[in-house]
Amino acid sequence: MICAIASNGKEFASGVLNESEEPVISIKAALRNNIWKLFNMGYDEFYSNTEIGVPLWAGATVTALEIFNEIKFYAVIPYEEQTTAWPEPQRDTYYSVHEKSEDVIMLDTHFEEGCYRRADEYMINDSDALLYFGSAKDDCYILKLAKERGLKIFIFNEDSPEIK
């Protein structure tokens, strides 16, 4: 089964950008635990757009698990120049994840209006579930799309780190 992974983009809402400080450490641990739980439920292929935060960490987590498990990661990137303004450590992680991915699906060469929506649609159209960092009440395109398509939705956040 296939699971897309996305976020409301509020991983850094506390203002902490350092990945070795709280709450980022706890969010990454919850993500890792939830991916492992989903894998044990039968989800063995994962998609994300590898944007900074949960989607990129998801790619790093799944590609690390590939060493010892029959699990695959697919990077669905909205456009080729996605990392142009990123800090070097995140850019390095991005390229490392892509190198280890089963496949990298690039939807556009340059940023254009709607490219992130197209990435969301690509992932949801091919998925059975969505692992989402945020709230069920979020006004987020990928979450709405997953609901419309009837996907199983697993939500986690800082207050509720484990999926059910």
Domain assignment of residue 158, yes or no:
no
**pLDDT tens-digit map of 54-98:** 999 999 999 999 989 999 999 999 999 999 998 899 999 999 999
Domain limits for position 85: 2-9+23-129+137-150
Query: Residue 103, Cβ neighbours under 10 Å: how many?
Result: 11
**pLDDT tens-digit map of 102-152:** 999 999 999 999 999 999 999 999 999 999 999 999 999 999 999 999 999
Domain assignment of residue 56, yes or no:
yes
Domain assignment of residue 66, yes or no:
yes
Instruction: Identify the CATH number of the domain in which residue 30 sits.
Output: 3.40.50.450
Sequence-ordered alpha helix ranges (H) in 66-104: 88-100
Q: First and final CA of the chain: distance in angstroms?
A: 17
User: Residue 14's pLDDT is what?
Assistant: 61
User: Residue 128's pLDDT is what?
Assistant: 98
129: closest CA among 65, 32, 38, 36? 38
Domain assignment of residue 104, yes or no:
yes
* Structural domains in the chain (count): 1
Q: Are 136 and 10 in contact (CB under 8 A)?
A: no
* For residue 20, pLDDT beyond 90: no
